[in-house]
Amino acid sequence: MTDLEKKYFILVFQEKICTYERIDSLKNWQKGTANKKYRLIDDFYKDELAQELNNEDKTIKDLKIRFQRYQELNNLYNNEERQNIFNEPDEIVNWFVTKNSQCGYCGVSQEELHEIVGLRKGNLTLNGKKKRSKGTLEIERLNPALENGYQFGNIILACPLCNNAKSNLIDETNWRILFVPAMREYYEELLGKDLSNLVPVAGISNVK
Ligand SMILES: [Zn+2]
């Protein structure tokens, strides 16, 4: 990342300076000061990054585009436990791209999951609960026993059914051998057709 990108990333995604209140607290200003001073939050970024913007001949809009995909993934998946992997913006975006929007265990695609949500009248869950209702692929730990488990080499993109069923109760190898074939069969029955992807090749984990 360039100096400008690094500074913007820290400001927006790590320090989360995205509201007038956060600006006031960052600057130790009296409440309401930032709101009076800046018409838009972007005007604050412009001020704060003026030197770097000038050096690199960029605008705030350029930076927004630069981090757009990261922003989407961040909104969808980041939480306290996952902070580690989200501190590496390019790595997490590239990791996601290589996962091809499919479950790393059974191969069901995001599109097929949405199809099932449609067949179930807009909610993947059978009891109408909101959690997991949209059938979004999930970032999970391959080995839940590993300390600080959310790290590259130990994360997998998994469908809600695989993730929920495997949980921290079945290890990866047994899950793949014994349960994935049944999961695929279940999906194919729900969809009334073969799944579009084959079973993905298991990622080789370099984490002991
Ligand atoms: Zn799956």
CATH number assigned to the domain comprising residue 117: 3.30.40.220
Is the residue at 89 inside a domain?
no
pLDDT of residue 29: 96
| Ligand 1 centroid – CA 183 distance (Å) | 7
**How many folded domains does the chain comprise?**
2
Asked if 187 and 124 sit in the same domain, the reply is yes
| Ligand 1 centroid – CA 110 distance (Å) | 10
- What residue has token string 């899950």? 175
Asked if 56 and 103 sit in the same domain, the reply is no
pLDDT of residue 169: 94
Is the residue at 86 inside a domain?
no
Question: Which one of 14, 42, 66 terminates a domain?
Answer: 66
Asked if 52 and 118 sit in the same domain, the reply is no
pLDDT of residue 204: 44
Asked if 58 and 103 sit in the same domain, the reply is no
Q: DSSP assignment, residue 102?
A: B
| Ligand 1 centroid – CA 157 distance (Å) | 9
Give me the residues of the chain with pLDDT under 50, please. 204-208
Determine the structural domain holding residue 107 and report its residue range.
99-191
Asked if 119 and 183 sit in the same domain, the reply is yes
User: Which protein residues have their CB within 5 A of the ion that is ligand 1?
Assistant: 103, 105-106, 159, 162
Asked if 8 and 54 sit in the same domain, the reply is yes
End-to-end CA distance of the chain: 29
Q: Tally Cβ neighbours within 10 Å of residue 167.
A: 11
Asked if 103 and 178 sit in the same domain, the reply is yes
Is the residue at 106 inside a domain?
yes
Asked if 31 and 114 sit in the same domain, the reply is no
pLDDT of residue 203: 59
pLDDT of residue 83: 92
Alpha-carbon dihedral sign for residues 171, 173, 174, 178 = positive
> Do residues 130 and 144 make contact, with C-beta atoms less than 8 angstroms apart?
no
